[in-house]
Amino acid sequence: MNGSTTKACFCRDRNSGKPLGKKCPKLTQRAHGVWSVRQELPADEEGNRRLFRRAGYESKEKAQGDLDKVRTLLNITDKHDTEGRRRIGDLLVTIMASKEDIPNYEETKRKFATGQSLTQHTTVGEWLELWLAGKKALRKSGKDRYEVDIRCHLLPRIGNIRLDRLTVPHLDAMFEGIAETNVEIIDANLLRRTALDELKRIPWKGKENRARRKAMKETIEAMPPFRRITGPATQQHIKATLRAALNAAIARGIITFNPAAYVELAAAKRPKALVWTDERVEAWLRTGEKPSPVMVWTPEQAGAYLDFMASDRLYGLFHVITFRGLRRGEACGVRDEDYVHLSKSLTIAVQLVQDGWDVVESAPKTDSGERVVTVDEYTDEVLLATRAQRETERAEWGEAWQETGRFFTMPDGSWIHPGWLSDYFERTVEAAGLPPIRLHDLRHVAASLMLAAGIDVKIVSETLGHSDSRITRDIYQSVMPKVAAEAAEATAAMVPRGTSRRPAPEPDPEPTEVAVPDAVEELVPTDGQAMGKHEGAKIIAFRPRKVPA
């Protein structure tokens, strides 16, 4: 196909006012006029002739360079491939109209070979939505997490960028923007908290005070609500979501480079689980602050809670979580047929999860979450008692009973809402006068108890439904100071020592017996199962008692 480069200017004849065009005598000067290119293109679908034109080049070399690029693109397909040549022509017409740079030959060849559109450019947002829609085999909880990352962070910040032009600096700017938003959220939360504290200090009585309270309430209502920041762990997940989506685009030949693989973020540190020792409890009572987001009860504290909940209708649920480490959704989702008394086993096959505030049934969190948990004789008795209690409630409710098939239910047989269960647990912990932990932390208690009992970490991992025993080891083995102390003593005893060994320290004096006030004696069970010394209302030693069936 014919193509050429020409030079022209905008000079006009002084007499007629017509453009001089190629007749301008100054065109021989290098700096006068501009160069343009002209290339004939394949005809369109109707057979109409098309031309690629572009002007404004400073030199013939630059004009010839673009003309060569156009001709190279036209040679991507065989001259007998009418449809393919028409597609290349459509691309060049689009480029001419949009005044974009001539596209890269290799990139265009790759798109042409994989059947992608040459004239429509996919944005990051369009690809993310297409990619997410194609995740058919993904669990709902995982898909929801991807959806949050895309909707709340990726679409608003980089969704309008062309997918093939996404760069590492784009992503650096995105995470810098997230960090700036975090600062704004922290400042706004602090202002709202300060205003709420000020409102509490204003007395209720008095006309002036009522006016101040009204004004303060109006100020608080105008403030943004409390919000959570996007922490390091969430930022890492956002990066992982984008990286997975871009890897899928590479696999389809849409792009060749994944910028998310080269973004550096601060490492997300998993909160260290700590035990509620006496010293930490004392500090918490004094300051109101938890030493770590993840706190674990001692066996004595766990026993105290179960003893406090002995008469509660949901005692069996909390007992199973404490000793067998079920997740919240797994405990809520246990079906009646999942518990087999003869084999003393509990099958974890489904879970109830929140979707907004709605509750839906889904498979366990991971493939390892689908498991059979063996229970001890005492737990077996507790589960039998729970089943008997449910049958009694079924008879009491009659036709109003909701048949959900769950093992643990609300009094009318309906599902236990996972969110409600967490709130209920926190309220009962506070009522029991124990240091606070999350419901999920009862899993930590279960793991700690099993590890302290000498159970192999692999068996503990399988009981908890972890995908890797390293997760179990990393999270839980640091929370049993007693076990660590015993290991240290056993290690020291392995090395025989002579006279150079330092003398053993003097033993601590035996604690004197402390009289227990009458008010405390009323709180001590009298069935002989709870045993230990008491100092005021503080339990020094404790052994949980069984719950009557």
Over residues 149-183, the pLDDT tens digits come to 999 999 999 999 999 889 999 999 999 999 999 99
pLDDT of residue 500: 53
Whether the CA torsion 438, 440, 442, 448 is positive or negative: it is negative
Give yes or no on whether 124-262 and 274-493 have one common fold: no
Task: With a cut of 60, say whether residue 83 has pLDDT above it.
Answer: yes
Task: Write the class of the CATH domain 124-262.
Answer: mainly alpha
pLDDT of residue 257: 92
Question: Residues 6 or more apart from 244 whose CB is under 8 A from it?
Answer: none
Return the minimum-mean-pLDDT range out of 13-22, 130-139, 301-310, 318-327.
13-22
CB atoms within 10 A of CB 398: 7
pLDDT of residue 542: 36
Whether the CA torsion 213, 219, 225, 228 is positive or negative: it is negative
Average pLDDT over residues 409-415: 94
pLDDT of residue 125: 93
CA distance 54 to 136: 46
Confidence of residue 339 (pLDDT cuts 50, 70, 90): very high
Task: With a cut of 80, say whether residue 532 has pLDDT above it.
Answer: no
What are the pLDDT digits (tens) for 368-408? 668 899 999 999 999 999 999 999 999 999 999 999 999 99
Among 445, 438, 425, smallest CA distance to 323 is for 445
Phi-psi region of 532 (alpha: psi -120 to 50; beta: other; left: phi over 0): left
pLDDT of residue 26: 82
Task: With a cut of 70, say whether residue 540 has pLDDT above it.
Answer: no
Among 452-461, 522-531, 537-546, which range has the highest average pLDDT?
A: 452-461
Answer for the pair 323, 298: CB distance below 8 angstroms, yes or no. no
14 vs 71, residue with greater confidence: 71
CA distances from 480 to 275, 429, 448, 477, 541 (A): 7, 21, 7, 6, 17
Confidence of residue 337 (pLDDT cuts 50, 70, 90): very high
CA distance 380 to 374: 9
Domain ranges of the chain: 3-113, 124-262, 274-493, 509-549
pLDDT of residue 548: 41
Could you give the residue ranges of the DSSP H alpha helices within 398-506? 418-431, 441-452, 457-464, 469-476, 481-493
Among 466, 432, 433, 475, smallest CA distance to 294 is for 475
Task: With a cut of 90, say whether residue 24 has pLDDT above it.
Answer: no
Confidence of residue 56 (pLDDT cuts 50, 70, 90): confident
CA distances from 459 to 372, 455, 456, 464, 491 (A): 12, 7, 5, 9, 25
% the chain with pLDDT above 70: 83
Confidence of residue 535 (pLDDT cuts 50, 70, 90): very low
Task: With a cut of 80, say whether residue 452 has pLDDT above it.
Answer: no
pLDDT of residue 153: 94
Answer for the pair 365, 351: CB distance below 8 angstroms, yes or no. yes
We find that the CATH architecture of domain 274-493 is: Orthogonal Bundle (1.10)
pLDDT of residue 473: 58
CA distances from 100 to 69, 95, 103 (A): 13, 5, 8
Whether the CA torsion 155, 158, 164, 169 is positive or negative: it is negative
pTM over 0.75: no
- What are phi and psi for residue 23, nearest 5 degrees? -85, -5
